[in-house]
Structures are given as C-alpha cells and as structure tokens.
Amino acid sequence: MPRRIDKRKTSLEESPIVQELRLSIRKRERELERGIAQADALKQELVCVEREYGERIAPLVYLAHNLDERIFSLKKVRDMVMKGKTVAEAKRIVKERERERDERERERMRSGGREDNAQRENEDNFFRGGEGKNAEKGDTSHSISKKTAPSTELKKLWRKLAYRFHPDLTQDDLDKTKREAVMKQVNDAYQRADIFAMREILTQDAKSEMLADSSCMSERDLREALLDIEESLRRITQKLIAFRKSPWFALSKDMQKAKREKYDYFAYLTMSQEGEVRAREKLIARIERELLRLAQSTRLTRKIA
C-alpha cells in the first residue's frame, strides 16, 4: 500500500508572514501563561488578606462604629437637656427620631433594589477580574469575595475537566505531571465555587487544542488565534489592574513592609483599633456621668421650686 504524502507546507515553504505569526503566537502564549499565574497568585494573596482582616480587625471596626452611633445619640440628648428638656424626655425624642431615620433608610433600600443589584454585579465583575462595563472605566469593588455558583453547573464543569485532565488517564510521566498541575487548579477552583476560573481553564484548553497542530492553519486562522490570545491578555491585564486598585492590595503591601521590619502588621492594627474602642468607651462613660449630674441637678431644682 503506497504511503500517503503529507501535502502540508513545511516551515521552509511557509511565507515570512506565517512564520512571524507563529512566533508571535508562541510569544504571546507564554506571556498569557505568566499573566494567568500572576493573577491567580495575587488573587489568592488578597483573599487571604481579606479573610485575616475580617477575622481580626473587622469586628473591632464594627464595634467602634456602633460606639460612634452611641456617642452621637448621647451628645444629642445632652444638647437637648442643656436647652431645658429632662434627660428622660431627651432620650425619648432621640430614640423616636432614630427610629424614623431607620425606617426611612429601610424604605430607601427597598426602593433601591435595582441599584443594589447593579452594585452586586459590579462586585462580581471585579472578582472576574475587571470584565464588564464598569471595569472598563476602572471601577472596582472593595471585596474579593465571589458569588457562589450553582452547584449543578459546578459539578458539570468539574466532571468535564476531570474527564479531560485526570492524571490516571495517561501513562506518560510528563503528561501526568501536567495533568496533576491542572487538576490542582480545577479542584482549588471547585472548592472556592469559582465557576469563572473553571470556565477559563476549559477555554484555555480549547484554544490549546486548536493551536496544537497549527501547521495546518491558514494565515487567516493564525491571525484569528493571535487576536484571541491578545483578548485573553487584555482581560488578564484588566484583572491585575483591578486587583491592584483594591484596598486589600495596599494592605498587603503594608503587611510585606512590616514583615521586612520584623513585626506583625495585623497585631499593630489590632492594638491601634483596640485603643480607638477604649477611647470611645471612655467618652461614652464621661457623657453618661455628665447626663446623670444634669438629671440630679434638674430633680434638685424642681424640689427647691
């Protein structure tokens, strides 16, 4: 049986334009791989920073905020007492006004549901790495936390990726090592319910298969493939920009500086925030003592009268 002759062009027969396109694709693919790795590492770093802040600092910030509200209310009571109201009357008026204010706020939130949904969409866009209209404008959310994807779709994606990349499906040691690395990314994304990361892995695999035998691709196909890679690079760049605009990135830099200077930055923040809380508690105690004296003075004045 005669051997089939491969009529595809060899690299020596290719035009300079096609050769240049292949070189550009390989170069941009390497840049894309580095960008994806950099974005994934930065995202994990910021998630850890946000989690530690939430565990160690956020409760103290929340407490300080509540104490500020208490101080504001007590000062309003004191002002009313100084203008002739009794302490009991002033407290009743302040409480009623705060109730009305809270009701107006609840009504505003109910009527602003669409705006809230838009804000949540912005937060999801930020987690995806700045893709979307607001990200194009440089808008970012302060949260790295993501929306949990439906479990059915997650499982479907996981099964699809596992069938494609499971290490037990190959006998080649090098291929097995590569599959293990990809499956680690898949499992990590599944544990985080990160459906966007899983889709990205699937998309990159499809592109890799398309480019695996690029020798049979026309100049037009190569140009389209290069444009696809350029678009992926643009998205990764937007993701990195969005992450670096996050306050968690600034906090991460402060932590790294503190580590170089041999101290725990979160311990420093905790101590500072605890000092803020103690200062507010002392102020509240002082105002309450002042109100007690005013109440006693008012009762004494009425008895004399």
Residue 235 has pLDDT above 70, yes or no: yes
Output the pLDDT for position 25: 86
The CA-CA-CA angle for residues 69, 71, 77, to 5°, reads 105
Looking at mean pLDDT, say which of 3-12, 199-208, 288-297 comes out highest: 288-297
Whether 92 shows a pLDDT value over 60: the answer reads yes
Pairwise CA distance, residues 59 & 55, whole Å: 7
Q: What's the confidence (pLDDT) of residue 231? A: 87
Instruction: Indicate yes or no: pTM above 0.85.
Output: no
Given this model, what pLDDT does residue 167 score? 77
Reply yes or no on whether the pLDDT at 291 is more than 70.
yes
Asked, for residue 252, whether it belongs to a domain, the answer is yes
In the predicted model, what is the mean pLDDT of residues 168-192? Answer: 80
Structure tokens at 303: 């008895």
pLDDT at 241: 93
* Domain contains 203: no
- Stretch among 7-21, 84-98, 235-249 having the lowest mean pLDDT: 7-21
Mean pLDDT of 28-34: 85
Residue 144 · residue 46 · CB < 8 Å:
yes
How many domains does the chain divide into? 1
| Residues 224-231, mean pLDDT to the nearest whole number | 85
* Position 137 in a domain: yes
- The percent of residues above 70 in pLDDT, for the chain, comes to 74
Q: What is the pLDDT of residues 62-90, one digit of tens each?
A: 999 999 999 999 999 999 988 888 888 99
Residue 266 lies in a domain: yes
Q: Domain span at residue 258?
A: 16-145+218-304
Distance between CA atoms of 63 and 54, rounded to whole angstroms? Answer: 13
Q: What is the mean pLDDT of the chain?
A: 78
Query: Among residues 57, 46, 29, 228, which one has the least CA distance to residue 144?
Result: 46
Sequence-ordered list of residues with C-beta below 8 angstroms from that of 296, at least 6 positions apart, any chain: none
Q: Provide the pLDDT for residue 300.
A: 58
> What pLDDT score was predicted for residue 228?
83
Of the listed ranges 65-74, 138-147, 181-190, 279-288, the one predicted with least confidence = 138-147
Q: What is the model's pLDDT at position 118?
A: 57
- Higher-confidence residue: 5 or 105? 105
Per residue in 121-177, pLDDT (tens digit) is 554 444 444 444 444 444 444 455 444 444 677 788 887 787 778 777 677 777 778
What is the C-alpha to C-alpha distance for residues 211 and 232, in angstroms, rounded to an integer? 15
Domain membership flag for residue 42: yes
At residue 274 the predicted structure's pLDDT band, cuts being 50, 70 and 90, is: very high
Residue 204 forms part of a structural domain: no
pLDDT at 117: 56
- Report residue 214's pLDDT band, with 50, 70 and 90 as the boundaries: low
Report the Cα 159 to chain-centroid distance in Å: 26
